[in-house]
Amino acid sequence: MLPADYLSDLADALLEIYEEYQTALIKDMARRIAKLGAMDVNIWQLQMYQEAGGVYDDAMKRLSALTGKAHDTLLEAFEAAGATAVSYDAKVYRAAGLTPIPLSQSPGMLQALLAGLQKTQGVLDNWSLTTAVAGQIQYMDAVNRAYMLVIGGGMSVDQALTNVIRRVGKDGLWVIYHSGRRDRLDVAVRRALVTGVNQTCAKISLQNAAEMGCDLMEVSAHMGARPSHEVWQGGVYRVSTGEFERVTGYGTGAGLCGWQCRHSFYPYYEGISRRMYTDEILREMAGATVVYDGHEISLYDATQIQRAMEREIRALKREWNAVKSAEAADMGTVSYREAYEEVAVRLKEQRAALRKLETQTGLRDQGSRIRVLGFSHSEASTAVWSARRAESAARSFDALVGLKTSAGIKISGKSAYFADQANSRAISADDVRNALIKPLKVDKIRINNYGDRSQEYTGEQGTVVINPDTGMLITAHRTHRKLVEKLTRGEAR
């Protein structure tokens, strides 16, 4: 048997190894993409084909370096888990007056341990190789997307490169399964190790029980179990009749010890053992709820919200790493400061949301689940200051209230969407002010399908859209450099 909390932090050491590989590859791709900023757009795709091989080669070299460390870490994880499972079961056997067999003296248990280790090791090795190909495809897709955003989408080089670099960071590396389905690398590694270890320890426990002549198994139970597992957790089932497999789904991906299942089981002797979980305790577990934002939800649903928030925080940290690496590699042609300031604000907001969830529901803070290599205390501090700077910039738009445009419309306020778009596109309050007061061009008022009216003011640095009836700032984007040249030459009015 393995305690439920044993599996919670099991993958941390192995994840750190793969996280190092993922961070290095994301930074490498970001640097390669950033260097396009110093080149003519028309040769981007040619450069892409020259660099794509380098992305793949770099991935393969890093994979070769991590394989040994990953194998050693896997071996330690399996040996420790096997010893823990046998140790827990031994207490039950001793209570029944039996002499348990040590793991090292049971060929059957040792074979189960070795088979589980080799299977998980093979799965991880195969999956890792797919990330090299996926990374190469990801790089090429990013460059092609940037090219199309500039040529056909009207974006500036700054906007296009920032856009795709952030996307590369947030997406992270992908594992590609034989079925064609994909999973993010960190998710796949955690699932493979937790599932592999739990299944292996389950086989060791069953082998041990067979050698000790025990035919009953009591399944563990824990709060917040998925609904399909709540119906059988904590029960006692007979192995020889098939009841154990039939009721719990043991041996299937969706059942006991299946995909990311934290349940385990241990030997049970009628007349000697006492059930660890009474029916009353199990009913309380099954009905466990928490209150979040004033709504009562199941504990299981709360944990799923927590997992989603943790994934978003990891993605934002990867995005931050990518943008900072791009900034370091850039030749001074593209500004990335506003981009990582926006990421910093979103990261701050997501962390606050996670803390709020954990405080309101009493869920345990699992710091290891939001850890990303390359985002240390130093980066965290920088992100905090960047967030504060960005929030200050957003507040600077408030000073525009009361301003009169060149058409005599008084600005009354800004939408949240306007602030987000202006910040993400590196448009300052001064850029907005100049567009409104000294526009290169003012479009006619437009009416959309819903009857909403808007008017566009084109400035040298930014183009601002307002509601001419209410004076609200609606959105903003960078003015394309070719349009500025055209307007300043007097070819358009």
Taken in order of first residue, the domains within the chain and their CATH numbers are 1-211 (no CATH), 215-287 (no CATH), 290-397 (no CATH), 401-488 (3.30.2310)
Cα–Cα distance measured from residue 234 to residue 257, given in angstroms and rounded to the nearest whole number:
14
Q: Phi and psi at residue 163, in whole multiples of 5°?
A: -60, -50
Amino acid at 369: R
The predicted pLDDT at position 334 comes to: 57
Tokens of 122: 């093979």
For 444, the token pair is: 């006619």
Cβ neighbours of 434 (radius 10 Å): 18
Identify the weakest region by mean pLDDT among 13-17, 176-180, 297-301, 468-472.
176-180
**pLDDT tens digit sequence for 64-105:** 988 899 999 999 999 999 999 999 999 999 999 999 988 989
* % residues pLDDT > 70 (the chain): 92
In three-state secondary structure terms, 291 is strand
Q: How far apart are CA 344 and CA 387, in angstroms?
A: 5
More confident residue, 178 or 339: 178
Cβ–Cβ < 8 Å for 462, 476: yes
**What pLDDT, in 10s, does the model give residues 300-357?**
999 999 999 999 999 998 998 898 888 777 655 556 777 777 787 788 889 899 999 9
pLDDT in tens, 31-49: 999 888 888 888 998 999 9
Q: What angle do helix axes 107-151 and 157-171 make, rounded to 10 degrees?
A: 170
Structure tokens at 308: 């989603």
Q: Name the one residue in this structure whose structure tokens are 């029916």.
A: 279
**Helix %, strand %, coil % of the chain (to 5):** 60, 10, 30
pLDDT at 492 > cutoff 50: no
Cα 29 to Cα 26: distance, rounded to the nearest angstrom: 5
Helices 416-424 and 377-396: angle between axes, nearest 10 degrees: 120
What count of residues does the chain have?
Answer: 493
Whole-angstrom Cα distance, residue 394 to residue 207? 63
- pLDDT for res 422: 82
Lowest model confidence (mean pLDDT) among 170-184, 219-233, 316-330, 470-484? 316-330
Residue 114 and residue 89: Cα distance in Å, rounded?
A: 19
SS3 state of residue 253: coil
CA torsion 424-426-432-433 (nearest 10°) is 140
Do the beta carbons of residue 310 and residue 369 sit within 8 Å? yes
Per-residue model confidence (pLDDT) at position 29 = 94
Burial of 49: CB neighbours in 10 Å, binned 0-12, 13-18, 19+:
exposed
pLDDT (mean) for 207-229: 92
d(CA 473, CA 399): 12
Q: How far is CA 133 from CA 54, 175, 177, 306, 359, in A?
A: 12, 9, 12, 31, 42
Between 102-116, 359-373, 415-429, the lowest mean confidence (pLDDT) is in 415-429
- Is-contact 457 405, C-beta < 8 A? yes
Q: How far apart are the C-alpha atoms of 492 and 55, rounded to whole Å?
A: 44
Q: In this predicted structure, what is the pLDDT of residue 394?
A: 64
Q: What is the mean pLDDT of the chain?
A: 87
CB 439 within 8 A of CB 457: yes
Distance CA 465, CA 251 (A): 60
The string of DSSP codes covering 96-127 is: TT--PPPGGG-HHHHHHHHHHHHHHHHHHHHH
151 pLDDT more than 70: yes
**Would you state the pLDDT for residue 205?**
93
Angle between helices 157-171 and 12-34 (to 10 degrees): 170
Q: Which stretch of 109-118, 192-201, 407-416, 421-430 has the lowest confidence by average pLDDT? A: 421-430
109 pLDDT above the threshold of 60: yes
Please compute the mean of the pLDDT values over residues 12-19 and round it to a whole number: 90
Confidence of residue 392 (pLDDT cuts 50, 70, 90): low
Q: Can you tell me whether residue 454 is helix, strand or coil?
A: strand
pLDDT more than 90, % of the chain: 55
CA angle 454, 460, 466 (to 5 degrees): 15
State the CB neighbour count (10 A cutoff) for residue 62: 19
pLDDT of 385: 56
Note the pLDDT of residue 414: 87
End-to-end, the C-alpha distance of the chain in Å comes to 77
Higher pLDDT, 395 or 472: 472
Instruction: Say yes or no to pLDDT of 491 above 60.
Output: no
Is residue 263 within 8 Å of residue 277, measured between CB atoms?
Answer: no
Q: How far is CA 381 from CA 62, 169, 378, 424, in A?
A: 29, 19, 5, 21
Residue spans of alpha helices (H) in 35-173: 44-95, 107-151, 157-171
